[in-house]
A and B are shown apart, each in its own frame.
Chain A
Amino acid sequence: MDFFLSLFMSGLTKGSIYALIALGYTMVYGIIALINFAHGEIYMIGAFTALIFSMLLGGPAVGMSGWTLLLTVAALSALYAAMYGWTMEKIAYQPLRGASRLAPLISAIGMSIFLQNYVQLVQTPNFLVFPDLIPQIDLPAAVAKAINRTHLVILIVTAVAMVALTVFIKFTRMGMAMRAVAQDPIMARLSGVKLDRVISVTFVIGSVLAALGGLLIGCSMRQIDFYIGFLAGMKAFTAAVLGGIGSIPGAVIGALILGFAESFAAGYISSSYKDMVAFIILIIILTLKPGGIFGTSQTQKV
């Protein structure tokens, strides 16, 4: 039972991280029908900025610690990643608006390779040790048995981020514009919605979520390198497709399914097979429901 519980918890946290990244994929796809392959790199950059800022601020010169350090680092890496996301869209995607759908896709792959190489050059290709930023929490013994503090923080941050995102999309005017653009971009523009601004906001929000994911994965795995974005990005993309790309609840559910599948497969079968199980589930679901769990197979308008 303990073994099951620990697998369950690890699947849940893994799924949460995937969800934070998958949201960025699915939101961008919902708005401009682009698979932003460089999105995983934003997550990796979020992790690296978190590492750099925690060294700077946690070092003797500034001497921050505990929750202050964690929250400051989170805010700064989110801000940094947001700037990366914003700039990436302006440089690599905005000039290609109106080009064929393959052009921005290639541009995204190029952006992804560029960012990986850039970080590899600046930060070395080695695994770097990530500090344990999560402060000690005194959990009741019963809770502590089921979940450790890092996992707890990951779950709380993810849950808060999801709720905040849902509220933003449902109740703010920018969220409303995003829903309108997702349904009919041309009509939204004809109603005076500034498309470029909506797209920028989408990239910024996606990047902030990814950066939080990067920070949390650093705290959880305790080491990062320039390549973590590629694998996590692939998994999160899979999760987004699994849930139905373009759908926000779909991304979260897809990510959780993927997280559980990997975790249980690693525990009960073998960790070498965990990816295989995850992708078998993807294939089964897409065979039964090609649009993904929450996706609607759309009839093409002629």
Chain B
Amino acid sequence: MTEAASCRPPDSVLKTCGLSMVFGGLVALDRVDLTVERHSITALIGPNGAGKTTLFNCLTGIYPPTRGSITFESGDGRKISLKGLAPDRVTLLGLARTFQNIRLFSNLTVLENVLIGCHGRMRAGLLGALFRDKKTRAEEKAFIDFSYDLLVRYGLKASVNELAKNLAYGAQRRLEIVRALATGPKLLLLDEPAAGLNINETNELRELIETIRTSENLSILLIEHDMNLVMNVSHVIYVMDYGKLIAVGPPNEIRRNPAVIKAYLGEE
């Protein structure tokens, strides 16, 4: 490694610059500059309607942002602009997400849900799919094994062949995360993963998030309302209100930040 590279500030996996999203007259995102450091857990908090999910939608290609840039650095040194890319392209570059209202393929089995996550990485084309040559079958087997391993590792082994809709709520949340992992992400976006979980499940989730970060070697950007969880897992917290970032910092700073307290509790 060269001198210059080693003394760079810690490198980032995602950087947005002046990102804005305007719906008609409504400014949902107003010049958002956000950086996710590699291997960090970064949290995004803010009152309802602050624009957190809109930001996720812009990052993952569901909405094309009105202005600003999104730069993704997958780890091989290439900087890729995500602006204007379709959702499947973004996912295949290494950015996966979950939703606050669970969006599993409810009529597919648990294993199939995870296999869908592998789908974009399979090489075999249409002819392979139709005629099922040796190479295609070997590839399919490899991805089935990979998906099965993921499910075993994250505690869903018992329900591999069940339909996703028959899982308990907590397990569905878990499955959604596993499906996102199956796409091979470098950055995982979690949108309110603790919503609807009880205290025990939330604690399990916290462990899960930390395990994922270390064992899958990725970075996490987390939207969450459960302050306990946020303060415990995140390295950096961004606070949004009315489409703007109003504060950035480590958890203990954010806890005391007057602007944040005002946004959450209202003015005295």
A172 within 8 Å of B (CB atoms): yes
Nearest Cβ on chain B to A222's Cβ, whole angstroms: 32
B122 within 8 Å of A (CB atoms): yes
A192 within 8 Å of B (CB atoms): yes
* Pairwise interchain contact B183-A192, C-beta atoms closer than 8 A: yes
Given the known A-B contacts A184-B105, A193-B88, A197-B126, are A177 and B62 also in contact in the complex, defined by CB atoms under 8 Å?
Answer: no
Q: How large is the interface on A (under 10, 10 to 19, 20 to 34, 35 or more residues)?
A: 20 to 34
Which residues of chain A have C-beta atoms less than 8 A from B87's C-beta? 186, 189-190
A191 to B105, CA, bound (A): 11
* Pairwise interchain contact B60-A192, C-beta atoms closer than 8 A: no
Most buried by B among A172, A174, A184, A191: A191
Nearest Cβ on chain A to B112's Cβ, whole angstroms: 6
B89-97, B195-203, B218-226, B252-260: which one contacts chain A? B89-97
Which residues of chain B have C-beta atoms less than 8 A from A174's C-beta? 126, 129
B91's closest neighbor in chain A, by CB?
Answer: A192
* Pairwise interchain contact A180-B116, C-beta atoms closer than 8 A: yes
Most buried by A among B60, B92, B112, B120: B120
Which residues of chain A have C-beta atoms less than 8 A from B132's C-beta? 172
A174 to B183, CA, bound (A): 16
B120's closest neighbor in chain A, by CB?
Answer: A192
Which residues of chain B have C-beta atoms less than 8 A from A180's C-beta? 105, 108, 112, 116, 119
Question: What is the 8 Å Cβ interface bit string for chain B, positions 184-216, against chain A (1 contact, 0 not)?
Answer: 000000000000000000000000000000000
B121 contact from A176, A177, A192, Cβ within 8 A: A192
A179 within 8 Å of B (CB atoms): yes
A286 to B39, CA, bound (A): 56
* Pairwise interchain contact A176-B112, C-beta atoms closer than 8 A: yes
A194 to B97, CA, bound (A): 16
* Pairwise interchain contact A192-B88, C-beta atoms closer than 8 A: yes
* Pairwise interchain contact A177-B103, C-beta atoms closer than 8 A: no
Q: How large is the interface on B (under 10, 10 to 19, 20 to 34, 35 or more residues)?
A: 20 to 34
A200 to B127, CA, bound (A): 13
A176 to B120, CA, bound (A): 12
Nearest Cβ on chain B to A237's Cβ, whole angstroms: 25
A184 to B165, CA, bound (A): 14
Which residues of chain A have C-beta atoms less than 8 A from B91's C-beta? 189-192
Q: Number of A-B pairs whose CB atoms are under 8 Å?
A: 83
Which residues of chain A have C-beta atoms less than 8 A from B13's C-beta? none
Question: What is the 8 Å Cβ interface bit string for chain A, positions 192-210, against chain B (1 contact, 0 not)?
Answer: 1111010011001000000
B97's closest neighbor in chain A, by CB?
Answer: A190
Nearest Cβ on chain B to A101's Cβ, whole angstroms: 18
Which residues of chain A have C-beta atoms less than 8 A from B80's C-beta? none
Please report which residues of chain B, range 35-85, place their CB below 8 angstroms from some CB of chain A when the two chains form the complex. 60, 62
Given the known A-B contacts A190-B96, A192-B121, A194-B120, are A176 and B108 also in contact in the complex, defined by CB atoms under 8 Å?
Answer: yes
* Pairwise interchain contact B120-A193, C-beta atoms closer than 8 A: yes
A184 to B176, CA, bound (A): 14
Which residues of chain B have C-beta atoms less than 8 A from A173's C-beta? 115, 119, 122, 129, 140
Which residues of chain B have C-beta atoms less than 8 A from A187's C-beta? 99, 103, 105
Which residues of chain A have C-beta atoms less than 8 A from B180's C-beta? 191
Which residues of chain A have C-beta atoms less than 8 A from B183's C-beta? 191-192
* Pairwise interchain contact B60-A191, C-beta atoms closer than 8 A: no
A180 to B60, CA, bound (A): 18
Which residues of chain A have C-beta atoms less than 8 A from B129's C-beta? 172-174, 201
B60's closest neighbor in chain A, by CB?
Answer: A190
Nearest Cβ on chain B to A178's Cβ, whole angstroms: 11
Question: What is the 8 Å Cβ interface bit string for chain B, positions 169-185, against chain A (1 contact, 0 not)?
Answer: 00000000001101100
* Pairwise interchain contact B119-A177, C-beta atoms closer than 8 A: yes
A157 within 8 Å of B (CB atoms): no
Nearest Cβ on chain A to B126's Cβ, whole angstroms: 6
Please report which residues of chain B, range 96-145, place their CB below 8 angstroms from some CB of chain A when the two chains form the complex. 96-97, 99, 103, 105-108, 112, 115-122, 126, 129, 132, 140
Given the known A-B contacts A173-B140, A176-B112, are A191 and B107 also in contact in the complex, defined by CB atoms under 8 Å?
Answer: no
A263 to B77, CA, bound (A): 68
B22 within 8 Å of A (CB atoms): no
A166 within 8 Å of B (CB atoms): no
Which residues of chain B have C-beta atoms less than 8 A from A191's C-beta? 91, 96, 116-117, 119-120, 179-180, 182-183
Nearest Cβ on chain A to B144's Cβ, whole angstroms: 9
* Pairwise interchain contact B106-A193, C-beta atoms closer than 8 A: no
Nearest Cβ on chain B to A212's Cβ, whole angstroms: 16
A179's closest neighbor in chain B, by CB?
Answer: B108
Most buried by B among A187, A189, A190: A190
Task: State the B residues within 8 Å of A (CB).
Answer: 60, 62, 86-88, 91-92, 96-97, 99, 103, 105-108, 112, 115-122, 126, 129, 132, 140, 179-180, 182-183
20 residue pairs from A and B, CB less than 8 Å apart: A173-B115, A174-B126, A176-B115, A176-B116, A177-B119, A180-B108, A180-B119, A186-B62, A186-B87, A189-B91, A190-B97, A191-B117, A191-B119, A191-B182, A192-B118, A195-B88, A197-B126, A200-B126, A201-B126, A204-B126
Known A179-B108, A188-B105, A191-B91; 12 more pairs at CB < 8 Å: A177-B119, A179-B105, A179-B107, A183-B105, A183-B106, A186-B62, A187-B99, A187-B105, A188-B116, A191-B180, A191-B182, A192-B119
